[in-house]
Chains A and B, each alone.
Chain A
Amino acid sequence: MSKKVQHEIRDVIHTFVYFNNDEKKVIGSRYFQRLRHIKQLSMTNFVYPGAVHTRFEHSIGTMELAGRAFDVLFDHKNRHSKSVEQLKEQLDDNILVNWRCHLRMAALLHDVGHPPFSHATESLFPVGENHETMTKRIIMKSELTDMLQNGCDIPYNPSLIAKLAVGPKYFQSEPFKNWQLLLNEIIVGDAFGVDRMDYLLRDAHHCGAVAGKFDHDRLIQTLRILLPPRKIGERSEISIGIEHGGIHPTEALLVARYFMYMQVYFHRVSTAYNTHCERFVKAFLNVQNGGFWPIDPDNFIKFTDNEIFSEIYKASQNSLAVGYLEAKRIQDRNHFQLAYEFRPKEIHMFAVDSVKAELEDKLANDFAETDYSVRLSRNQGGKRTPALKDDFSVWNRRVEPDKIEFGKTYSKILDELVSPSQDFVIADRQKKNDIKTCIEEFIITKMGKEFLEEDNE
């Protein structure tokens, strides 16, 4: 009987996902199977009950979209001849087959280093570590490395897979070639990365957030390798752009992203639950592992949402247990509530370290006995502040076959959107009004009455 070479599974977003024997082997590994137990949106299911989907299905979906995007980008009929000149030595069928295999494997493994509850506990990695460095380590320094090199039908290059999965930021001493940057951009690119496409669609589906959907099939069909336009005499480097027909799906993607941040990712109650979860895990790890996630792959993969949630459940029933108060808050649904949400016009104040420290000192003095948490985008180095628009190139080949322009979005709504931010103070519900009053007084002191009057106008 001949060996089956193609496998398929049903997927809620992509209907069917097909994969080969090597991908099946990696999916079956304990490193990847662990992702079945890492929820994509940490504690968001306490707000949106359907949001119990995992990194497992997102990773498989990202692999599927990476393959689709690759096939469109490298299809002969989709090539802008001047743009692909930078790749001319590599546009050989054997090389392309190899790139495609590595790209799909990288997309499959791009999230393999996520800790339990995903981003909610990312701060509990040791200094200098995060889920990307963990992903790199699992791909390059674990049993999976040997499987990729020696246990597959083709010999995979783990270093290349890690490069494509996590990008140049984590390979400072090994500069990427232009084709490596392009393949990495297919997965995690700012404008058209398939990681983002899959998680937006999947999160929207599971949360029931219809506004998070967009026409990704059309968008992927219009992806092209393009040279962004430069002034005369300037050269540019290839990146992923779109044909003209992709402008509306791109606008829909940008709007969907905005709504998903506003309605789901920065939701104040899920932020409160994530805060309780992070605090509990910190206390738990203080006892278990010196306060941090272990970073050797075999110890790291022992932890999933399941083990942690089991500990939360046990701790909530024992007032002497480590992390009891946070566990009890989660179990009793006695989560923090919104005390104050900073308005867009106030947030710039807290880009000033001394002002931010002054507010934090004031709250610490006035509410020493109160449980609260100050969430400012500034606290996270701006990394959780999404850019609403990124420059992208557009090729309108029916009108001007050679010309490429920077894309101009047409929907005026995009001009009106303010970058979503997660700038608020959440607190114990008994004290939230007192905290609100305290912050309002602080802002008047800092900015003057005119500041509020201006707002009234």
Chain B
Amino acid sequence: MNNDERRVLLLDLVEKLNRAGSWTGETHIQKAIYFLSILRNLDLGYSFVLYKYGPYSFDLKSELTFLEATGILERKESPPYGSHFSNGKHASSFRSLVSAHAQGYERDIAWTIDTFFRDHDNVSELERYATALYALKNFEGTHVELADRIHQIKPHISKDEALSAINRISKELV
């Protein structure tokens, strides 16, 4: 996927997350992009490490900062919680200049939102599922061993919660 396609996809994702009632904070976008990369096999070119709230891409963070600085995305402070993203004042102008489109990925975005955001949009749940997915892809061991490892790295996720997330997400992975 080239830069233009990736940016249009990000814009579409932000728009559709907002439309689905998601808070659309940075954590939501990070996790949605991670699910799209792994569960829908989209080659978005972001590398992820296990960080606060699960898998996180520093490259994606730079991209969001850049898109915010250029007015393509807008980030608004929303006390008492963190800030959230929406399309910015230059979003439509950007779209009119770019020849790429995200039509080929609409189903992937829709599936991701339906599966993980539609009814809950809960950051803790997103963290658990994304961390479980990261463990399944990057660590070796049985589901119970992976749950133990998650609990060691993220003590605020209990072993039971980690195991339940692994069992659920492994079905999506299949």
Contact = CB atoms under 8 A, between A and B. Distances in A.
B41 interface: no
A406 B82 CA distance: 6
A345 B2 CA distance: 24
A432 B79 CA distance: 47
Interface stretch (A107-115, A210-218, A347-355): A347-355
A169 B58 contact: yes
Identify the interface centre among A178, A348, A405: most chain B CB within 10 Å of its CB. Answer: A348
A352 B122 contact: no
B69 A406 contact: no
A181 B56 CA distance: 13
A235 B156 contact: yes
A181 B47 CA distance: 18
A352 B80 CA distance: 35
Contact of B66 (A168, A377, A406): A377
A381 B3 CA distance: 10
Identify the interface centre among A173, A234, A405, A418: most chain B CB within 10 Å of its CB. Answer: A234
B80 A406 contact: yes
A408 B79 contact: yes
Contacts, number: 126
Nearest to A383: B62
Contacts of A233: 122, 124
Interface string B107-129: 00000000000000011100000
Given A348-B72, A353-B4, A387-B65, A234 B97 contact: no
A349 B72 CA distance: 10
A381 B59 contact: yes
Contacts of A389: 75, 77, 83
Contacts of B2: 353
Contacts of A406: 77, 79-83
Nearest to B4: A353
A175 interface: yes
Interface string B60-96: 0011011111111001010111110000001001100
Contact of B99 (A349, A354, A387): A354
**Size bracket of the A interface:** 35 or more
Contacts of A178: 154-155
Interface stretch (A72-80, A223-231, A247-255, A271-279): A223-231
A175 B153 contact: yes
Identify the interface centre among A172, A230, A351, A378: most chain B CB within 10 Å of its CB. Answer: A351
Contact of A382 (B47, B63, B94): B63
A379 to B, nearest CB: 11
Interface in A342-401: 344-345, 347-349, 351-355, 377-378, 381-383, 385-387, 389, 391
Interface string A235-259: 1110100000000000000000000
A228 B47 CA distance: 25
B75 to A, nearest CB: 8
Given A178-B155, A405-B80, A172 B71 contact: no
A166 B7 CA distance: 28
B67 A408 contact: no
A371 to B, nearest CB: 27
Given A176-B50, A406-B82, A355 B97 contact: yes
A348 B122 contact: no
Contacts of B98: 352, 354
B49 interface: yes
Interface string B1-42: 011100100000000000000000000000000000000000
Contacts of B4: 352-354
Interface string A118-158: 00000000000000000000000000000000000000000
A228 B79 CA distance: 12
Nearest to B58: A169
B105 interface: no
Q: Which 5 A-B pairs have the closest CB atoms?
A: A382-B66, A419-B69, A175-B50, A348-B90, A348-B70
8 contacts: A168-B51, A172-B47, A173-B138, A348-B94, A351-B66, A391-B83, A419-B68, A447-B93
Given A237-B53, A352-B98, 7 more contacts: A168-B56, A176-B51, A231-B81, A354-B4, A378-B66, A385-B66, A385-B69
